[in-house]
């Protein structure tokens, strides 16, 4: 049985890319270096005797935060693809408040 929307937990993170990069599904668009907002949605795992969550979706907000009020979009990204991009661009990741 799947959890309802009210039990979904959302985590916001800021990631930093120190060099330009391309997202796997947007290979025709180079994204500039900078800070990007990443959102992860998780839902509770049912049937356990303790509280646990599983990730159900990860999204990156485009363009970078420093690019101001330009038209924004949210793109779904696989967590492993995001980790590889961060590793190859010497990126860092910090939880946002």
pLDDT in tens, 27-80: 788 999 999 999 999 999 988 888 888 889 999 999 998 887 678 899 999 999
Where are the domains positioned within the chain?
5-95
Please tell me whether residue 88 adopts helix, strand or coil conformation.
helix
Residue with tokens 């270096």: 33
- At residue 86, φ and ψ (nearest 5 deg) are -65, -40
Given pLDDT bands bounded at 50, 70 and 90, which one contains residue 1?
Answer: very low
- Please tell me whether the overall predicted TM-score, pTM, comes out greater than 0.75 for this model: yes
Please tell me whether residue 79 adopts helix, strand or coil conformation.
helix
């Amino acid at each position: 049985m799947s959890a309802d929307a009210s039990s979904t937990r959302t985590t916001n993170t800021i990631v930093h890319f120190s060099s330009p990069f391309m997202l796997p599904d947007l290979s025709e668009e180079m994204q500039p270096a900078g800070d990007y907002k990443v959102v992860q949605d998780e839902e509770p795992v049912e049937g356990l005797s303790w509280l646990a969550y599983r990730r159900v979706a990860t999204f990156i907000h485009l363009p970078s935060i420093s690019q101001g009020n330009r038209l924004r979009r949210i793109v779904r990204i696989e967590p492993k693809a995001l980790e590889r991009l961060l590793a190859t661009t010497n990126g860092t990741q910090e939880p946002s408040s």
